[in-house]
Chains A and B, each alone.
Chain A
């Protein structure tokens, strides 16, 4: 929280507390204390009292009635007199009570603001450290991905030079050449991965049967991930989707599940009012607690360096957001993970 916002919050809090004090003061003393003590009120009551006394002379038959009224009036005068004698003490007490309330409110506000400030500071520091750590990890991955093929290519080139000097056979030179080409291709694949992340295009939405797409996907990719079975729970809904991009999302989800040791991946279409959801549930080992909050961030992965950059979920979510929907982590535990694909209300041709 910036100092300006903190100051604004303090001002608003104090203003609210002051308003509350004014309200209480108005309720307690403003309504009856001063009104009851107005001299004309007392004068009117005294006159009424004297009138009752005078009436008993004029109408002795109703003396008891006048006496009763007299006593009631006198009692009221007495009460007002007691109030008048305690007016200052009561006002002082009320003001003290209000000041205590004010002090408590101000103290609570200050403590709250200070706590929030300290928490914000702590969170900012923690996030900064996490960002730096993440960047360090990313740098290590980049270095490894580039250094591996480069080193291999350099060694192969040196070997090729030796082969040329030694007048080696054409086959041996060709193998060395091929090896260099393979390493360079690794570098090219690596750069393509980045290109795909940087160049996620706009989806071309068409009305598609989600049930049919899932069915086709499960058939086509039935053997794509060794040891993992794809299951279609049935159901159908028409959604606006870019077929190719959506298939890439499914591929990414399945790839992650396979790496997490899942033996099955089940797709389930769920309707929630006008919203269509697709739950992708695996029985893998789940996502570690430390990664759950950042699972859609780029370069966040459980894989070792050299085994991937951790861009799959990031790309997938970007794709679904571009669809007007979303991709969320619905649940995860040691017995499996469920990602939920949300289809938005985007219109299409």
Chain B
């Protein structure tokens, strides 16, 4: 296979298990065999997601890419929080081998524009790769989860002093988690030309 520098044409051969209403990913190949995917804006426009975005919590979009052939697992994370004080969107992407700068976006349109920027998902030297991409929309970030866990265990009335706090901490520690608000899955076979 001959790789050319820069973007190469990429064709989506087929997508299995794709639902009719499932938004489609737009893949592209970047230098170094890095495959990136532009996420559809419809994900942001989903009613549940839209409501969560304005909650003040950090909505986390967790993307996991599994290569069928090599079984390599890579991923990316997008964090979006609406700052209610300044009324701006704080957004950040943590991609394959790269942590993007935190963005302050003043409008939803700006956020959607930023959203369309492809996310680096995986790196490959193969000419053809079969990938399963999972996207989970989590309602809050790991830091917020930890903060809430600490707050709950301290303010439970039984977890402040004495031995009963251990039980409460254990229960909270094994229970509190960010359940996905919604999730998507794409199975694609990519031919890199």
A interface vs B, CB < 8 Å? 27-28, 31-32, 36, 49, 53, 67, 70-71, 74-75, 77-79, 81-83, 85-86, 89-90, 93-94, 97
Residue-wise interface mask of B (155-193) relative to A, using a CB-CB cutoff of 8 A (1 in contact, 0 not)? 111100000100110011011111100000000000000
Size of the B side of the interface (Cβ < 8 Å), in residues, is: 28
Contact yes or no, B147 A32, CB < 8 A: no
User: Which single residue of chain A is at the shortest CB-CB distance from B148?
Assistant: A82
| CB of B17 closer than 8 Å to a CB of A | no
Residue of B55, B84, B157, B172 near A90 (CB, 8 A) is B172
Q: What are 19 A-B contacts with C-beta separation under 8 Å?
A: A27-B158, A28-B168, A32-B152, A32-B155, A53-B84, A74-B85, A78-B140, A78-B144, A78-B147, A79-B147, A81-B55, A81-B57, A82-B57, A82-B176, A86-B176, A86-B179, A89-B177, A93-B175, A97-B171
Residues from chain A with Cβ under 8 Å of B176 in the complex: 82, 86, 89-90
Contact yes or no, B156 A79, CB < 8 A: no
Contact yes or no, B164 A74, CB < 8 A: no
Known A-B contacts: A82-B139, A82-B176. Give 18 more (CB < 8 A): A27-B164, A32-B152, A32-B155, A32-B156, A36-B155, A78-B144, A79-B147, A82-B140, A83-B148, A83-B152, A85-B178, A86-B179, A89-B175, A89-B177, A90-B175, A93-B174, A97-B167, A97-B171
Q: How many A-B residue pairs have CB under 8 A?
A: 75
Q: How far, in whole Å, are A28 and B144 apart by their CA atoms in the complex?
A: 22
Residues from chain B with Cβ under 8 Å of A49 in the complex: 84
Residue-wise interface mask of B (21-49) relative to A, using a CB-CB cutoff of 8 A (1 in contact, 0 not)? 00000000000000000000000000000
Contact yes or no, A85 B139, CB < 8 A: yes
Q: Given A28-B158, A28-B171, A94-B171, A81–B85 Cβ distance below 8 Å?
A: no
Q: Is the interface of A mostly helix, strand, loop or mixed?
A: helix
Question: Would you give the shortest CB distance from B48 to chain A, in whole angstroms?
Answer: 12
Q: How far, in whole Å, are A36 and B148 apart by their CA atoms in the complex?
A: 12
Residue of B55, B152, B174 near A79 (CB, 8 A) is B152
Residue of A28, A82, A85 near B156 (CB, 8 A) is A28
Q: Given A79-B147, A90-B176, A27–B57 Cβ distance below 8 Å?
A: no
Q: How far, in whole Å, are A89 and B55 apart by their CA atoms in the complex?
A: 21
Residues from chain A with Cβ under 8 Å of B84 in the complex: 49, 53, 70, 74
Q: How far, in whole Å, are A42 and B156 apart by their CA atoms in the complex?
A: 18
